[in-house]
Amino acid sequence: MSSLGHLLFSGQDEAGEVQVYDNGARRLLAFGPGDEQSACLKSEPGLLLFEYTQAMMLGLLFASPRKVLCLGLGAGSLVTALLSHCKGVKITAVELRPLVFELAQRYFYLPRSKNLQIQIEDAATFISQDSSHYDLIFCDLYTATGAAPVQNELDFLSACRARLKPEGLFVINSWRQEKLPNQADLDQLKQVFPSLGACLTSEGNWVLMGRRLPFSLPAQVKDPAQQWSRQLGFSLIKHLRNFKQID
C-alpha cells in the first residue's frame, strides 16, 4: 500500500498518469507518484481540505457567487464546495481530461446537478470562444509537474477578464513556494487587472486575485468572512489575515 493509501484506480490518458487512493477517511487524486492533486473527505465531500482551495474561497468576500466559471476540475472539490454552500449558484466547469471528469464522479462524489455544466475542453480554447459573463472565475490548471504554462499567458488572462462582469473577480492558484508572489505572474496580471490581491497559504501556494474594482479592506469584509467560515466549515478569517492588496 502507498503512503497515500490504498490504490483504488490507476490509469493513463494522453496527458499522463492518474491514480485514485483511499486512506479510510479520504480519497485522493494523483497525477504521478507522490503527487497530491486533490482530495475529499468521504463523510463530507463539500469540505475543502487543502489550504489553497480554502484561500481561493476568499473570492466569496469580493464577488457574488451567482454565476461561476471553474477552469480545471480535478476531483471537483471546489465545485462540490460551491454547490454545497452557495444557494442557487450556477457553475460551468472546464476540464481537459475526460478520464479526470469520470473519476470525479465515480470516486469523489461530484454532484450531478442542473446547476452544474461540465465542458470537456482545453481551457484556453473555451475561454477564447465563450460569450458568457461570470461573477467569479476560478483558475486552477495543473499537471503533475506544476502549473500549466497558459495560466501566465497574457492572451489567456485577457480572455478571462473579458468574461467577467464589471464587478467580477478572477482567482488563480499560482503555486509558487516562495515568500513573495512570483514577479512574472504579477507583471502579467497587472497588465490585465487594475486591482490585484494575494494570499499566501502555509502550504506555500500563492492565491492571486484580479478585478477591475478596488478590493474592500479586510476589516470591511470581516463579518462576511465570519459568516462564510461557519458555513464552509473552516476559518476563512485565517486566510483573510494573510490577504494583501498589491500596488
In this predicted model, what pLDDT tens digit does every residue of 41-59 receive, in sequence order? 999 999 999 999 999 999 9
Q: What is the pLDDT of residues 190-201, one digit of tens each?
A: 999 999 999 999
Give the closest residue to 46 by CA, choosing from 238, 234, 240.
234
C-alpha cell at 216: 474592500
| pLDDT of 186 | 85
The average confidence (pLDDT) of the chain is 93
CA gap 11, 140 in Å, rounded: 22
**Amino acid present at 132:** S
CA 22 → CA 7, 40, 76, 97, 139, distances in Å? Answer: 7, 10, 16, 21, 26
pTM: 0.95
| Domains within the chain, CATH numbers bracketed | 44-246 (3.40.50.150)
Q: What is the pLDDT of residues 18-45, one digit of tens each?
A: 999 999 999 999 998 778 889 999 999 9
CA gap 39, 65 in Å, rounded: 23
Angle at 69 between CA 41 and CA 53, to 5 degrees: 35
Q: Which residue has the cell 474561497?
A: 57
